[in-house]
Amino acid sequence: MAGSTEGTRPLVLVTAWRRSGKVWGEWERDIVGAEGFYVSALQRAGTSPVLAPVGIPGTAASLLSHVRGLLVIGGEDLHPDVTGADPATVGSNALADRDRWEIELLDAALDCDLPVLAICRGMQLLNVARGGTLHVDVSGSSDVHPPVPEDIDEALAYRHDVSLTPGSLLARAYGTQSKSVNSLHHQAIDRLGDGLVVTGRATDGAIEAIEPVGAAWCAAMQWHPELLPEDAAEVSLFREFAQRCSA
């Protein structure tokens, strides 16, 4: 049944990374997953997350007919074959097949008015899907965007301010036009894609939030709301997403 739920909790499809090689110890492994922060945030908000590894091309719309929302997670750089970026600027875990699959998921979800939450890499992917381009490295470009920390505690402690467009989806969800956020990224939006509007910027001018024009509900942000479970505004964002998925 289209839009099926598990009990009263709407099913949300969550994109997943892939790791191959000696991920743990000396064994060669091939692993699909997503950070537990995303899963926990969705569960606390009242949804049931379901992981979506790279699928068979042409099947995204069919897969999405069984869920009520889509979360595109952060993580790896986008592959040069998809972005046109210099391969030397891109991390080793980038996968073109994953990028193309998630673009297919995004397109299909927006075509059928499924609620979409696109975080960090997810926002960049949405921009590329609409023909936009990326800055390949903004890490260290300003005090607002210092080098990405390797230590998770340092990453969680870092904050900077973002201004939100009055009346935008995020301004309504948060109930404010400015917010302290925790962007952790080295790529960022350069040229905006077709049919997208900027709804949030950092004080150094970096694009921090976008929305597709005419979408039923699609929030795309550069920061990581899933890493801030004690932030009442971010909790409200996930609850808003869950409510939209239940509608």
Catalytic site residue 160? no
Residue of 120, 160, 185, 234 marked catalytic: 120
Residue whose C-alpha is closest to residue 73's, from 29, 13, 24: 13
Catalytic site residue 226? yes
Residue whose C-alpha is closest to residue 85's, from 183, 191, 184: 191
CB 85 within 8 A of CB 93: no
DSSP assignment of 190-219 equals -SPPTTEEEEEEETTS-EEEEEETT-SSEE
Which helix (H) or strand (E) segment is 52 a member of?
A: strand 48-52
Pairing of strands 48-52, 9-15: parallel
CB 118 within 8 A of CB 125: yes
Residue of 102, 104, 208, 226 marked catalytic: 226
Residue of 104, 208, 224, 240 marked catalytic: 224
**DSSP character for 43?**
H
Which helix (H) or strand (E) segment is 126 a member of?
A: helix 121-129
**Cα 202–71–29 angle (5° rounding)?**
105
Catalytic site residue 76? no
Catalytically active residues are 120, 224, 226
